[in-house]
Amino acid sequence: MDARLNYFADPTSAKVLKHFMSAGKALKETTLPATTQELTALRVSQINGCAVCIDMHTKEAAAAGETAVRLHLVAAWREATVFTPAERAALELAEQGTRVADAAGGVDDEVWARAAKHYDEEQLAALAALIAFMNAANRLNIIAQQPAGDYEAGQFH
């Protein structure tokens, strides 16, 4: 399967993607825990059905020491006992921030308050930006039908 588009082949989209990828790199440098970032990115990508991002974030998390059990349970995190309260709050925020159309009211106050119990303002800002970033990345990849399976951990670092 080949992608419909090569975003880096067109000068305009390549310029946009360069800046977009810089935003992703900046998020990696925040104080939001790396594990939380990978679990959040994975959950957003699962909801959106972005195979290439699921591939990427599963492999990046595994390379960083994440267990297979936790990775397999991200899709069912509510029923799983392997996530910390902070991770659960981030995953819940990721779901409501991704399912904006489904949740009509967006992110509710209780979900935000649970996340705010575990993350400081800088981390909350990073978490909100990460959720938005992943939704945009998922859409770019889904539109172009980017194929999944060949990603290698660290490929974009």
pLDDT value of position 91: 98
**Torsion angles phi and psi, residue 106, rounded to 5:** 75, -145
The CA distance from 11 to 75, in Å, is 37
pLDDT digits (tens, 9 = 90+) for 48-76: 999 999 999 999 999 989 999 999 999 99
What integer pLDDT is reported at residue 90 of this predicted model? Answer: 98
Please tell me the least confidently modeled range out of 50-59, 83-92, 147-156: 147-156
- Indicate the domain borders of the chain: 33-144
Name the pTM for this structure: 0.93
| Domain 33-144 coded CATH 1.20.1290.10 | yes
